[in-house]
Amino acid sequence: MIYLIDNQLPLALVGHLQTHGLNAIHVSNCGLERASDEEIWNYAKTHNCVIVSKDEDFLHLSGKDPSGPVFVWVRLGNCRNAALVATFNNILPDLLEAINSGAKVVEIR
For residue 46, what pLDDT is reported?
97
Query: What confidence category does residue 10 fall into, taking pLDDT thresholds of 50, 70 and 90?
Result: very high
List, for residues 55-97, the tens digit of each pLDDT value: 999 999 999 999 999 999 999 988 999 999 999 999 999 999 9
Query: Into how many domains does the chain fold?
Result: 1
For residue 49, what pLDDT is reported?
98
List, for residues 12-37, the tens digit of each pLDDT value: 999 999 999 999 999 999 999 999 99
**In Å, how far are 13, 28, 83 from 99, measured between CA atoms?**
18, 24, 22
At residue 73, the 3 state secondary structure works out as strand
Answer for the pair 51, 69: CB distance below 8 angstroms, yes or no: yes
Average pLDDT estimate for 34-51: 97
Task: Work out the number of other CB atoms within 10 angstroms of the CB of residue 99.
Answer: 16
- Cut 0.95: pTM above it: yes
User: Has residue 5 been placed in a domain?
Assistant: no
User: Has residue 8 been placed in a domain?
Assistant: no
For residue 101, what pLDDT is reported?
97
Domain that holds residue 93: 13-108
User: Has residue 33 been placed in a domain?
Assistant: yes
